[in-house]
Amino acid sequence: MNAIDRIPYQCISATQAAELLRQEASLAVFDVRDLVSYRQGHIEGAAQLSEERVLAWVKRLPKEQPVLIYCYHGNASQTYAQMFSDFRFQRVFSVDGGYEKLVAALA
């Protein structure tokens, strides 16, 4: 599989992300906001992810495991989603609208 064949990440709505969180028991969830924001509140089960930690996670997780990434508004999460796609993860999702919209969709 070359770079052209890889499966791209998907941008999904907060509502779709909330549904994924409810249905996918094996979903790996990452919060790419800064540590202070993460500590103030995050989605249950989400790990805080920084650029320095990406390599450790992509080595640890199976490529088949679905990955959901959120940030403040849905921009930075796309950058991180691209990184997971580049490492050949098969199901990678970036949340459009970010953390606040995802919290609202889960309420």
Catalytic residue among 18, 21, 69, 71: 71
Q: How far apart are CA 55 and CA 90, in angstroms?
A: 16
- Sequence-ordered list of residues with C-beta below 8 angstroms from that of 74, at least 6 positions apart, any chain: 11, 94, 95, 96, 97, 98
CA 2 to chain centre: 23
Give the residue carrying structure tokens 């390599």. 55
CB 17 within 8 A of CB 95: yes
Q: Active-site residue 11, yes or no?
A: no
Catalytic machinery residues:
71
